[in-house]
C-alpha cells in the first residue's frame, strides 16, 4: 500500500488542529454515518469494539451535556454542530462470539473485572482516536474533551445500560480565524528511545 501524499498528511496531522470554535455549517447524519464507517475499521483487541457513541445534534441534547460539563467546556459543546459522547460498553465481551468467532474470547473476560475495565477503557480510547482521524479525513474538525461529570453523564445518557462514558468530542467545520498559534510538538529525540 503506498504512503499517503503530503496533502493527506497535512489534513490528518501536520495542519490539523483541535478546534473549539466552529462555523454555523451543519453536519448531516450521513456524515456521522460516514465517520463511523471509518472508525469501525480501526483495530481493537480481538475486534471487540467496545466504544458506543451518542451523537448530540440538537441544542436540547447538547444542553443536557452542557449541564454536566466544566465551565471551560460548556461553550465548546454548546456552539459545536455536533458533540459525540464516546462511551465504553462494560459488557463488550458479550458480542465476542459475533465479532471474534475464531476463538472463545468471551471466556477471557467473564468474571475478570480488571481485564474488562482495562480493555474497555484502552480500546474505546483507541476508537476515540480513530474517531478524531475519521472526522479529519472527511474534512471536518474535532475537539476532544474530558472535563465533565462522568457519573452524571452515565446517569443522564447511559442509565440502565452497561455503558460508561470515556470522553466527549465536539465536531464540525472549524472557524480557522479564531486559531491561536500552534502549541509545541517536540522532536523525535526528546520523547523517543530506540533500543
Region 108-115: mean pLDDT is 98
| pLDDT tens digit sequence for 43-80 | 999 999 999 999 999 999 999 999 999 999 999 999 99
Give the contacts of 69 (CB within 8 A, at least 6 positions apart): 77, 145, 147, 148, 149, 168
Q: What is the DSSP letter of 183?
A: P
Three-state DSSP at 83 gives strand
- Asked whether the beta carbons of 158 and 169 are under 8 A apart, the reply is no
Cell 467545520 -> residue: 173
Q: Is the dihedral of CA 2, 18, 128, 138 positive or negative?
A: negative
Domains and CATH numbers, the chain: 6-178 (3.40.109.10)
Q: What is the DSSP letter of 91?
A: T
| pLDDT tens digit sequence for 135-169 | 999 999 999 999 999 999 999 999 999 999 999 99
Region 88-93: mean pLDDT is 98
| pTM for this entry | 0.96
**Centroid of chain to Cα 154:** 16
Give the contacts of 151 (CB within 8 A, at least 6 positions apart): none
Statement: residue 20 has pLDDT above 90: no
- Asked whether the beta carbons of 169 and 142 are under 8 A apart, the reply is yes
Taking the CA atoms of the chain, what radius of gyration do you get in angstroms? Answer: 18
Amino acid at each position: 500500500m503506498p504512503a499517503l501524499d503530503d496533502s493527506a498528511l497535512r489534513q490528518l496531522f501536520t495542519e490539523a488542529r483541535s478546534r473549539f470554535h466552529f462555523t454555523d455549517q451543519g453536519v448531516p447524519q450521513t456524515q456521522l454515518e460516514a465517520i463511523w464507517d471509518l472508525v469501525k475499521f480501526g483495530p481493537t483487541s480481538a475486534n471487540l469494539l467496545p466504544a458506543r457513541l451518542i451523537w448530540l445534534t440538537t441544542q436540547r441534547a447538547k444542553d443536557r451535556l452542557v449541564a454536566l460539563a466544566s465551565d471551560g467546556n460548556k461553550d465548546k459543546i454548546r456552539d459545536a454542530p455536533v458533540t459525540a459522547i464516546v462511551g465504553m460498553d462494560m459488557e463488550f465481551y458479550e458480542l465476542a462470539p459475533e465479532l471474534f468467532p475464531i476463538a472463545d474470547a468471551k471466556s477471557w473476560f467473564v468474571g475478570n473485572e480488571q481485564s474488562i475495565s482495562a480493555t474497555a477503557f484502552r480500546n474505546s480510547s483507541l476508537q476515540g482516536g480513530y474517531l478524531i482521524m475519521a472526522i479529519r479525513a472527511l474534512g471536518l474538525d474535532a475537539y476532544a474533551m474530558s472535563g465533565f461529570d462522568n457519573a452524571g453523564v452515565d446517569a443522564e445518557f447511559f442509565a440502565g445500560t452497561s455503558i460508561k462514558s470515556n470522553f466527549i468530542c465536539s465536531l464540525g467545520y472549524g472557524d480557522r480565524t479564531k486559531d491561536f498559534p500552534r502549541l509545541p510538538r517536540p522532536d523525535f529525540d526528546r520523547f523517543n528511545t530506540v533500543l
